[in-house]
């Protein structure tokens, strides 16, 4: 994923389409636009990963408008442990704790549903971990998250991945993009022109990055494709990588296993769709 330009900031959908829905929220909606688009409205509608401490410390700009690290946020996501569940006729209130703080999440109930108070097939229980997608709200002096989607965490690696991603985005806004003081590496494309890989790295080599050192040429070729190929917020499917790289499926799968093991990529909507970590 790319944090090199706020106008192009995007994230995966974190598998949100399988969670408990409601509120008309479409995961990834508003997180994409024309390249280079950096209008205020576009920036507001990006999906921002946060910790609960960042949520509680967010600056209240106006009514229910908030900013974190000096950037206005609208759609947010976080991962935490459910400490309490309170069910009422119109909403379910969850109290979440992620180790940095606690916050309440209110999810409105669809009164026309067959079992309106059932939540994610009863997998959302106290002490379980879950991911929340929603918007930061304030009522009086107390803030909460209006939950569009609250879904259980099934892979506990997601907890660590989220904290790392929230940290990476925070560092981008407070310290600047990685490699900002260096010229982007140049990679010739098939048309004889020059492309600039994301983040200022040489996508075809390790560039001294410890996450890429020691990788095979096969894995680095896949890294090069994933950094330079056009893609949506869910990453690239193995079939697309195969088509763009000229490798057969077995080699793509072998490279994928190597990159997953090295923590360079991660799966998104399924096991055969991958996105880059910010390395």
**Among all chains, which residue has been given the structure tokens 């009086």?**
140
Who wins on pLDDT, 144 or 279? 144
Q: Is 1 exposed, middle or buried (0-12, 13-18, 19+ CB in 10 A)?
A: buried
Instruction: Judge whether residue 229 has pLDDT over 50.
Output: yes
pLDDT of residue 118: 56
Instruction: Tell me if the pTM is above 0.75.
Output: no
Tell me the per-residue pLDDT of 31-64, one tens digit each, with 9 for 90 and over. 344 434 444 444 456 789 999 999 999 998 877 7
Instruction: Judge whether residue 24 has pLDDT over 70.
Output: no
User: DSSP string spanning the chain?
Assistant: ---S-GGG-----TTGGGSB--TT--TTTTS--STT---HHHHHTSEEE--HHHHHH-EEEETTEEEETTEEE-EEEEEEEEEEEEE-SSEEEEEEE-SS-EEEEEEE--TTSSSTT--GGGT--TT-EEEEEEEEEEETTEEEEEEEEEEE--STHHHHHHHHHHHHHHHHHHH--TTTTSPPP-EE-TTS-EE--GGG--TTS-TT-TTTTT--HHHHHHHHHHHHS--BTTBEEHHHHHHHH---HHHHHHHHHHHHHHTSEEE-SSTTEEEE---
Who wins on pLDDT, 25 or 103? 103
> Under CATH, to which class is 6-173 assigned?
mainly beta
Distance CA 168, CA 50 (A): 10
- The region of weakest confidence among 15-29, 89-103, 136-150, 208-222 is 15-29
Tell me the per-residue pLDDT of 126-163, one tens digit each, with 9 for 90 and over. 999 999 999 999 887 889 999 999 999 999 999 999 99
Q: Judge if 6-173 and 182-276 fold alike in CATH terms.
A: no
Q: Which fold has domain 182-276?
A: Arc Repressor Mutant, subunit A (1.10.10)
Q: Is 74 exposed, middle or buried (0-12, 13-18, 19+ CB in 10 A)?
A: middle
Distance CA 181, CA 247 (A): 34
Average pLDDT score over the chain: 74
Q: Measuring CA to CA, which residue among 207, 233, 203 is closest to residue 219?
A: 203
pLDDT of residue 2: 41
Domain boundaries of the chain, sorted by first residue:
6-173, 182-276
pLDDT of residue 273: 86
**Among all chains, which residue has been given the structure tokens 């991962």?**
79
Tell me the per-residue pLDDT of 56-102, one tens digit each, with 9 for 90 and over. 999 988 777 899 998 888 899 999 999 999 999 889 999 999 999 99
Span 9-13, average pLDDT:
45
Distance CA 194, CA 220 (A): 19
Instruction: Judge whether residue 10 has pLDDT over 60.
Output: no
Distance CA 151, CA 124 (A): 7
Distance CA 269, CA 52 (A): 25
pLDDT of residue 17: 40
Estimate the crossing angle of helix 238-245 against helix 217-228, to 10 degrees: 100
């Amino acid at each position: 994923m790319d944090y090199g330009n706020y106008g192009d900031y995007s994230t995966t959908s974190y598998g949100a389409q399988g969670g408990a829905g409601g509120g008309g929220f479409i995961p990834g909606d508003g997180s994409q636009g024309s390249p280079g688009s950096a209008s205020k409205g576009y920036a507001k509608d990006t999906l921002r990963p946060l910790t609960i401490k960042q949520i509680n410390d967010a600056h209240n700009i106006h009514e229910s408008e908030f900013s974190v690290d000096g950037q206005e946020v609208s759609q947010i996501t976080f991962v935490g442990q459910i400490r309490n569940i309170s069910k009422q006729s119109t909403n379910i209130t969850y109290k979440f704790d992620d180790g940095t703080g606690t916050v309440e999440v209110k999810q409105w109930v669809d009164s026309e549903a067959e079992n309106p108070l059932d939540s994610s097939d009863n997998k959302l229980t106290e002490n379980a971990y879950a991911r929340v997608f929603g918007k930061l709200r304030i009522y009086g002096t107390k803030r909460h998250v209006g939950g569009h989607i609250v879904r259980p965490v099934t892979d506990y690696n997601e907890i660590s991945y989220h904290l790392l991603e929230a940290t990476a985005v925070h560092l981008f806004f407070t310290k600047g993009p990685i490699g900002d003081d260096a010229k982007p590496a140049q990679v010739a494309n098939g048309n004889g022109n020059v492309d600039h890989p994301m983040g200022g790295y040489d996508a075809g080599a390790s560039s001294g990055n410890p996450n890429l050192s020691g990788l095979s040429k096969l894995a680095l070729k896949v890294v090069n494709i994933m950094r330079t190929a056009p893609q949506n917020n869910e990453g690239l499917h193995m079939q697309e990588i195969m088509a763009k790289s000229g490798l057969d499926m077995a080699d793509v799968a072998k490279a994928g296993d190597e990159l997953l093991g090295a923590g360079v990529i991660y799966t998104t909507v399924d096991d055969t769709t991958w996105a880059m970590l910010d390395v």
